[in-house]
Amino acid sequence: MFKKADIILAVVLIVLGLAASYLISFGDELGSELKISSQGSLFGTYSLLEDQTIKVKTDDGHFNRVQIRDGQVSVDAADCTGQDCVHSHAISKGGETIVCLPNKLVLEITGGEKAYDSVSR
């Protein structure tokens, strides 16, 4: 069956894999500002250091309410169908985004280094 060396090798490989995953995710930097684009144009730029609520209204009467709290950004209310933007997790790292397609809203964190999901060659 399994020899002692096989088990030790498996444990070492698992530990190395977990350590590599931790080190890769540890390098993500927090962003410093939020850029909001509505219907393809810049709506505004906001600091993540100041807790605030921003209501974004579109020309056709739709809205999204954006919450900045403790350096994290989330959409806490919207009148779009599906509510995907409301149910998405809060973002805080450079390069992360929240998108509301029905209301044509894009929230993007800037100011830190971009956090990559994966790298391929």
60 pLDDT higher than 90: no
pLDDT at site 117: 54
pTM of the full predicted structure?
Answer: 0.69
Which helix (H) or strand (E) element contains residue 26? helix 4-26
CA distance 46 to 5: 56
The tens digit of pLDDT for each residue in 62-114 reads 999 999 999 999 999 999 989 999 999 999 988 899 999 999 999 999 986 54
CA 31 to chain centroid, in Å, comes to: 10
For 3, residues 6+ apart whose C-beta sits below 8 A from its C-beta are none
